[in-house]
Amino acid sequence: MELVEFKVKFQESIARNESIVFFCSCEIAYSGRAEAFLARGDRIIVVKADNTLLIHQPEGGNPINYMRPGSKIELQQLDSHLLLKAQNLDSKDYIDMQIFRVYSFMSHKLEDGIKQELAGNEKDMSDMIKDHPEIISPEFKPLSREEHTKFGFIDVFGHDKKGNIVIVECKRYTASLQCVTQLRRYVEKISELKGLPLERVKGIMASPSISTNALDMLKKWGFEWKQVNPPKRLERYNRDQKTLSVF
Amino acid sequence: MELVEFKVKFQESIARNESIVFFCSCEIAYSGRAEAFLARGDRIIVVKADNTLLIHQPEGGNPINYMRPGSKIELQQLDSHLLLKAQNLDSKDYIDMQIFRVYSFMSHKLEDGIKQELAGNEKDMSDMIKDHPEIISPEFKPLSREEHTKFGFIDVFGHDKKGNIVIVECKRYTASLQCVTQLRRYVEKISELKGLPLERVKGIMASPSISTNALDMLKKWGFEWKQVNPPKRLERYNRDQKTLSVF
DNA sequence: ATATAGATCTCGTCA
DNA sequence: TGACGAGGTCTATAT
């Protein structure tokens, strides 16, 4: 496609507030939170109606360059090619994209606004533990599942039969050193706030697995690990895949 | 565009190993690491040559749904519409996408393979401190900038004039509680490995800013904060923007 | 394969 | 607006 034709189409689509996608050969410079340069190659460019800019290489899941929603995007004619400039005043960064060839162009006014429903995240896992505390221990009595309180962002908070405070930190994946230090921080904070000795505040890590180093550190600090699988994992995949293979 | 026509084009493009983009009205179900459902709306669909699937709403920076590279992607004809099925055997998850209307379709064989050059990340920041230790303190003598050693992932490691060990943790953004506990973990580990009392291992957080709570915790544990801006930040933006305004 | 931490992380949520 | 933590996080690197 001729660059002149592309430029006209691009400007028209922008004026109509459409979403735009095109394939091109380009070279990209980014400056802002970091500095980046990407030499010439073929890429997929997306300009959304909210002025998000995405630059994808033909392989890989993540954009190689991007500008966040609300960027100022404009196309300039240079001597032999085009310059697409995107600038974000909030994040104080910008992209300069030299466009040498455009292979295809597409634009359309898109109507959406639907929000996705999601299940199986960490919140669901802590809900499950709150509703079925025997997963953790027959002695565990949860009091609350509150994340943003004066005590901090604790997943499940409760006590045992001996009157100790119990703090449960849930992770949907293998618990790491970082996860254990997070639990430690909560235990120390509660101990301080309640004026209780550390021995009276029990920390429990609930996760499907835990790294060796993390388990060592956990034990060293007197915490426990309880193997808990996040809800709806794998079982549903296997069930559904059986159904699908009948297709 | 007629669904039948779309289906033919899609299959042809897949067979030629091209990258594909289309606008459509669709409904999406995801199952795997979580369960998600997205009701009908207009979206931008990208199918890359490496069998990455990206589903974008007309607003927002991130894909609302995706499948990683190497997924099995196929298009089936149902009674009144199409079903795009994507499945990833490694991550054991899948997407079922009901396609009701296709507005535009585009495909092209793209040639790239260029790697991006990037500067200004945390590694560059620790390099800067290693090369200019006076940024931290006139007494700081860096010994190494090694991230993956038996000591752990320490950004800059050194000592002061009194023979204390000094550990510097760099962050290119506001240091949080988590960053401080990370530093604490390193200090404790070095203290243990070297058989030195905690007072002989100094922790320093180097970041452009730090949250109030994080600073409190830092002081409580006897660590220091040193304001350090990551290299090439802002100065270059301002300089470049001056140049650009002359344009 | 597992472990660990950074990321131009992004995003939501709450004080 | 800042702070804090989750994320279908992803990606790179070292063991």
Through-space separation of residue A62 CA and nucleotide D11 C1' in angstroms: 10
E strand spans, B68-138: 72-77, 82-88, 93-108, 117-119
pLDDT of B54 higher than 80 = yes
User: What is the average per-residue pLDDT within A187-195?
Assistant: 94
Q: How far is B82 from chain A (nearest CA, A)?
A: 15
pLDDT of A66 higher than 90 = yes
What pLDDT does B152 receive? 75
What pLDDT does B145 receive? 86
Q: Which of residues 114-133 of B touch A (CB under 8 A)?
A: 114, 116-121
Question: Which nucleotide is the nearest neighbour of B169, by CA and C1'?
Answer: C5
pTM as predicted: 0.93
pLDDT, averaged across chain A: 92
- Give the number of other Cβ atoms within 10 Å of residue B40's Cβ: 14
Residues 6+ apart with CB under 8 A from B87: B67, B71, B72, B93, B94, B95
The token duo for B96 is: 């079922």
- pLDDT, tens digit (0-9, with 9 covering 90-100), for A130-139: 999 999 999 9
Interface residue B239 vs chain A (CB under 8 A): no
Interface residue A35 vs chain B (CB under 8 A): yes
Give backbone dihedrals phi and psi of A57, rounded to 5 degrees, phi first. -80, 165
pLDDT confidence band for B189 (50 / 70 / 90)? very high
User: What is the average per-residue pLDDT within B81-109?
Assistant: 97
Q: How far is B52 from chain A (nearest CA, A)?
A: 6
Contacts by A69-72 with C-beta closer than 8 Å and gap 24+? Answer: A69/B59, A69/B60, A69/B61
- pLDDT, tens digit (0-9, with 9 covering 90-100), for A197-237: 999 999 999 999 999 999 999 999 999 999 999 987 445 54
CB pairs under 8 A between A and B: 195
What pLDDT does A234 receive? 46
Q: In whole angstroms, what is the distance from residue B99 CA to residue B180 CA?
A: 48
Q: Strand D: which of residues 63-122 in chain A lie with Cβ below 7 A?
A: 118, 121-122
pLDDT of A164 higher than 90 = yes
Residues 6+ apart with CB under 8 A from A64: A28, A38, A43, A55, A56, A57, B116
- Residue A37, by phi and psi: left (phi above 0), alpha (psi -120 to 50) or beta? beta
What pLDDT does A152 receive? 72
pLDDT of A244 higher than 50 = no
Q: Cβ B19–A111 below 8 Å, yes or no? A: no
Residue with tokens 């790697």: B115
Using the CB atom, is residue B172 less than 7 Å from strand C?
Answer: yes
The token duo for B213 is: 């709570």
User: What is the average per-residue pLDDT within A181-201?
Assistant: 95
Is the distance from CB of A208 to CB of A172 less than 8 angstroms?
yes
- Give the number of other Cβ atoms within 10 Å of residue B140's Cβ: 20
Closest CA-bearing residue to C1' of C5: B153
Lowest mean pLDDT among A93-102, A116-125, B149-158: B149-158
Is the distance from CB of B168 to CB of B126 less than 8 angstroms?
yes
What pLDDT does B228 receive? 96
Domains of chain B: 3-108 (2.70.180.20), 122-246 (3.40.1350.10)
- pLDDT, tens digit (0-9, with 9 covering 90-100), for B141-154: 999 887 676 667 89
Closest CA to A204 of A131, A151, A126, A152: A126
- Give the number of other Cβ atoms within 10 Å of residue A232's Cβ: 17
Chain B neighbors of A233, CB-CB under 8 A: 33
- pLDDT, tens digit (0-9, with 9 covering 90-100), for B5-28: 999 999 999 999 999 999 999 999
User: What is the average per-residue pLDDT within B114-132?
Assistant: 95
Through-space separation of residue B62 CA and nucleotide C11 C1' in angstroms: 10
What pLDDT does A151 receive? 67
Through-space separation of residue B153 CA and nucleotide C4 C1' in angstroms: 8
Lowest mean pLDDT among A13-22, B30-39, B110-119, B233-242: B233-242
Which positions of chain C lie under 7 Å from any protein Cβ?
A: 2-11, 13-15
What pLDDT does B156 receive? 96
Q: In whole angstroms, what is the distance from residue B168 CA to residue A244 CA?
A: 54
What pLDDT does B245 receive? 41
Containing H/E element for B22?
strand B19-31
Interface residue A15 vs chain B (CB under 8 A): no
pLDDT confidence band for B238 (50 / 70 / 90)? low
User: What is the average per-residue pLDDT within A3-27?
Assistant: 98
pLDDT, averaged across chain B: 93
DSSP code of A210? B
Q: Are strands A165-170 and A201-207 parallel, antiparallel or unpaired?
A: parallel
Question: Counting every residue, how long is chain A?
Answer: 247
pLDDT confidence band for B239 (50 / 70 / 90)? low
pLDDT of B241 higher than 90 = no
pLDDT of B4 higher than 80 = yes
pLDDT confidence band for A245 (50 / 70 / 90)? very low
